[in-house]
A and B are shown apart, each in its own frame.
Chain A
Amino acid sequence: MTATPAAPAPPTTGAPGTLGGRWTQFALRRGGRLLVSLFVLVTASFLMIHLVPGDPVRAALGMTAPTELVEARRHALGLDDPLLTQYLDYLGGLFRGDLGESIQTQLPVGETIGRRLGATVSLGLIAFVLALLIAVPLGVCVAVATRRGRRQRTSLGFASGSVVIGSIPDFLIGVVLVAVFAVGLGWLPVAGREDGAASYVLPVLALAIGPAAMLARIVRVEMISVLESDYIRTARAKRLPARRIHLVHALPNAVTATLTLGGMLLASMVAGTVLVENVFAWPGLGSTIVSSIVTKDYPVVQGTVLVYGVIVLLVNTLVDVALAVLDPRSTVGEA
């Protein structure tokens, strides 16, 4: 690995040569951060059950449960062991893909999650792609149309509209969609996932509309500031077609900033599935986690939170990698 100089290197010292080094450094640094975050996540999810005041098993099984049963479950969960032993067992289990078993049903948690993960991930992914497909073109068009104080009314309408839509919680959008399209017009199913593509329409929309509005706002603000930059003036001085200036010169520079801010939004979409799934009785992890919290089925909650957390970490890492590809500067000197 060649060392990457902290300052921009003149190409005479080897631009392509340092390129590889830069990527290695980036991968190491980003990988390191991912590992630390994973460690914190795993530790936190392990500690969750121990932070519950009183005896979690007693709380889960209720006051009337016989003491022998509570003792048996405590033992099965390994709660009798010293904390460190439990932690090591937990880590070992994770490496074997063993997330423990439910206090209520005694089914392996991994199996329950495995059965429901697909429904959640497909919902989140489709919504994410849809949000991008709406937000980026919309933000770019509005930016070009309203920059430098043009079309004040469009600008004001877009700004207030996107704020209002962006601040409507996704589960409320879901309820509105159900009321209009499922109950009122009867076009689409009210709930469930049995009707194939049709059953995806409303949950995906409910999940995507809010983030799309927020993202479009960010895209617009970033585009407008990029369009004022010196290199756009240079591109205009080259007399390139407007489309090329906006899409090739401005957009990639706006997307880098958008991704940085939008990454958080995407991560929150992952969590947003929890609420939306409950509106649409979607058979995914979101329904699982809520019912497990209510029934105090701690191992299931633990496992589900862990899986959600890992998804979030993966999303964040992917965003960073996308940033690095789109904007070569972001791989340098972000110690």
Chain B
Amino acid sequence: MRALRTPVGATGAGLLATVLLLAVLAPVAFGDGAAAVDTDNLLAGPSAEHWFGTDNAGRDLFLRVLVATRLSITLALLATAIAVLTGLVLGSLPWLLGPRLGRPVTALVNILVAFPGLLLVLSLATVFGVGARGAVLAIGFAGAPTFARLCQTLIAGIAARDYVAAAEIAGLGRIRILVRHVLPNVAEPLVVNATIGAGSALLAFAGLSFLGLGVQAPAYDWGRLMQDGLAGVYLHPLAALAPGIAVVIAGLAFNLTGEAVAGALGVTPVVGPRAWSVPARSTPARSPAQGEDLVLDVRDLAVAFPGPSAPVTPVRGVSLSLRSGEAVGIVGESGSGKSLTALAIAQLVEEPGRVTGEVTLCGTDLNDGGHHEDLLGTSLAVVFQDPMTSLNPAMRVGPQLAEVSRFHQSLGRRAALARAVDRLRAVRLRDPERAAQAYPFELSGGMRQRAMIGMGLMGTPRLIIADEPTTALDVTVQKQVLALLEDVRREHGTAILLISHDVSVIGEICDRVLVMYAGRIVEEIAAGDLHGDARHPYTRALVAAVPSMSTSRDEPLATIPGQPVDPAALPPGCAYAARCPLATDQCLSEEPALLDGVACWRAGDPLPMEQTKQVSV
């Protein structure tokens, strides 16, 4: 099994094999030695002859710990079997009985699960009586609620599947469906949990025997040995500790094995050692655009992440600049690197991602190693895609906005909150006082996105980066949010960098459009020229994919054939060549540079008939 090859799995399996082997062999091999009485060495400490010392009858403690393995493990496994079987019955009942009769069972299981196991064990031990038999029953039944809850959840999941419904319609009885279709499917997680459960049962048993309620002399398990040892803890503590260590090791053996198998059945990516270094890519550097009103200047921006063999660079050599009051759009399919470009500009890419290139915001080089938190906090605002998840759910909206002013503009709590209310009014939220008092979940999606924009307006932003700000919203709300951004731009001369996969959203408020594909800008074009004057075949395909009022309804909508390129496996030539109807041998072997606003060997060439027909509409 793959799970057992991980370090944890291998350790667990190795321990478990040893423990089980001891359980089988130790009583046979050492049974006599463990019972041998050495009257010269009563309650002796560790010695060469007796590694862990002796007990009050002079019996060797090391051998006794080994021999006790069988009883300890057997009892734990018996108790686990009772817990699993009882749990299975209790857990199947709600489904077998149907919702009405099943509900009380579910409720009872829920109440029992909330009680600590030990409390149930003690109550049941009272009923079943002191001794090994009583303890097995007590620990078994006390463990049942946990397994019942597990089975119930598992069965409910399986029962919702089509083949169970089909079997029901076919007239099979519920018990038959349970045995034939449901149980085989819950067996795997159940066995894994039973393995972990056996570890817990082992500890519980040790506890019970330690309290004197479990195994009774002359029989002995680890817990019993611990209790005997505790009496002599003054003389030599190892007598109490040695069996305890055995309990822990055996418990870990079960737990680790179970958890390793559980981990392997789910999906847990393991982060291994990975190579580092951003490949040097020579992109023709544009001369830095100068000017007083240049808000953002980005040159040769690249973002790399460690990959299994070589670093993956989802953003490669992006250069762009924005003037005050300008609205620029970045458009591309998902995976084109546009959102990552936005994060990189906002200095929000986290490890292990590495950003290279120059980002200059309002004349300040953000990569000069200095602290630019106040500049970034007040001059740059970022609006994220999903307003449902982008606000802190455990904080009221007002204080979330107010924070910006408290930390970057040194306003007091009250003044900052007043500004927050004012900003919420500025983004035209109805009843801003009340909205400031609300938790995010009490607001609608559109209101939250307004609040996010208001948060950006707490400072005096020169640039708003909006990453798919309308994608998660209803169409009517989309219009309002775009109009709000447009107003902010007009009133305050704020530059807007709008990232979207939707050409029509970009066209609505942007002056210029940057088209991204496979981490590069492939075309830079005035928004007005998108329809008709686009030269890159990818841009033209993106535009054609948007239906307009005049799109013929008889023909299927245009789509771009093929899949976007995986940034981990970039082809040597133009990344779009594989999907491009114009691709030549040159396109497949050489990557075109961004020259005169387009990166394409065949820029502007006419497309084959069936596509031109739709583009020309």
Picked from A18, A48, A164, A279, the residue with its CB within 8 Å of the CB of B252 is A164
Please, which residues of chain A bring their CB within 8 A of the CB of B116? 264, 267-268, 270-272, 312
- Size band of the B side of the interface? 35 or more
Query: Which residues from A are CB-within-8-Å of B256?
Result: 163
Counting CB contacts under 8 A, is A293 at the interface? yes
Scoring A residues 261 to 299 as 1 if CB is less than 8 Å from chain B, else 0, what string do you get?
A: 000100110111011001100000000011001100010
State whether the Cβ of B210 lies closer than 8 Å to any Cβ in chain A.
yes
Chain A residues lying within 8 Å of B213, measured Cβ to Cβ, are 290, 293-294
Would you list which residues of chain B between 202 and 248 have a CB under 8 Å from chain A?
Answer: 203, 206-207, 210-213, 226, 229-230, 233-234, 237, 240-241, 244, 247-248
Chain A residues contacting B374 (CB-CB under 8 Å) are 239
Asked if B107 and A149 make an inter-chain contact with CB atoms under 8 angstroms apart, the answer reads no
Which of chain B's residues have a CB closer than 8 A to the CB of A235? 392
Say yes or no for B584: interface residue by CB 8 A criterion. Answer: no
Q: Is A316 interfacial (CB-CB < 8 Å)?
A: yes
CB-defined contacts of A267 to chain B, threshold 8 Å: 114-116
Q: Are B393 and A329 in contact (CB under 8 A)?
A: yes
Inter-chain contact A175/B237, CB cutoff 8 Å: yes
Q: Which of B357-365, B433-441, B523-531 contacts A (4 or more CB under 8 A)?
A: B433-441
Question: How far, in angstroms, from A274 to B122 measured CA to CA in the complex?
Answer: 10
Q: Known contacts A11-B442, A275-B211; is A179 also within 8 Å of B115 by CB?
A: no
Q: Which of B124-161 contact A (CB under 8 A)?
A: 125-127, 129-130
Shortest A80–chain B CB gap in Å is 21
**Of B119, B391, B447, which contacts A10 at CB under 8 A?**
B447
* Chain A residue, CB-CB nearest to B199: A167
B241 near A11 with CB under 8 A, answer no
For the side of the interface on A, what is the size category?
Answer: 35 or more
The CA of A172 and the CA of B271, in the complex, are separated in Å by 35
Interface of B is mostly: helix
In the bound complex, residues from chain B placing their C-beta under 8 Å from that of A231 are 389-393
Cα distance A81–B374 in the bound complex, in angstroms: 80
Q: Is the pair A175, B255 in contact by a Cβ cutoff of 8 Å?
A: no
Q: Bound state CA distance, A230 and B449, in angstroms?
A: 13
A253 touches B126 (CB 8 A): no
Write the nearest CB–CB distance from B130 to chain A, whole angstroms: 6
B394 x A328 contact (CB < 8 A): yes
How far apart are the CA atoms of A272 and B233 in the complex, in Å? 21
Determine whether the beta carbon of A178 is less than 8 Å from that of B233.
Answer: yes
- Of B80-88, B346-354, B536-544, the one with at least 4 CB within 8 A of chain A: B346-354
Q: Does A158 contact B (CB under 8 A)?
A: no
Out of A18, A169, A249, which one reaches B206, CB within 8 Å?
Answer: A169
Chain A residues with CB under 8 Å of B277's CB are: none
Does B418 have its Cβ within 8 Å of any Cβ on chain A? no
**Is A197's CB within 8 Å of the partner chain B?**
no
Q: Indicate if B111 sits at the interface (CB-CB under 8 A).
A: yes
A178 and B226 contacting across the interface, CB-CB below 8 Å:
no
User: Is there contact, CB below 8 Å, between B244 and A175?
Assistant: yes
Task: Tell me whether A301 is interfacial, beta carbon within 8 Å.
Answer: yes
User: Which residues of B approach A to under 8 Å, CB–CB?
Assistant: 8, 107-108, 111, 114-119, 122-123, 125-127, 129-130, 199, 203, 206-207, 210-213, 226, 229-230, 233-234, 237, 240-241, 244, 247-248, 251-252, 255-256, 271, 346, 348, 350-352, 373-374, 376-377, 381-382, 384, 386, 389-395, 403-404, 407-408, 430-431, 434-435, 437-439, 441-444, 447, 452, 455
A-B contact pairs, 26 of them (CB 8 A): A10-B443, A15-B435, A16-B434, A48-B126, A152-B271, A160-B8, A163-B255, A167-B255, A178-B233, A190-B234, A233-B348, A234-B391, A234-B392, A237-B381, A239-B408, A267-B116, A268-B116, A271-B117, A271-B119, A272-B118, A274-B122, A275-B118, A278-B210, A290-B122, A298-B126, A308-B119
Q: Which 10 A-B pairs have the closest CB atoms?
A: A179-B237, A239-B377, A271-B118, A271-B116, A172-B244, A230-B389, A268-B116, A239-B373, A15-B438, A237-B382
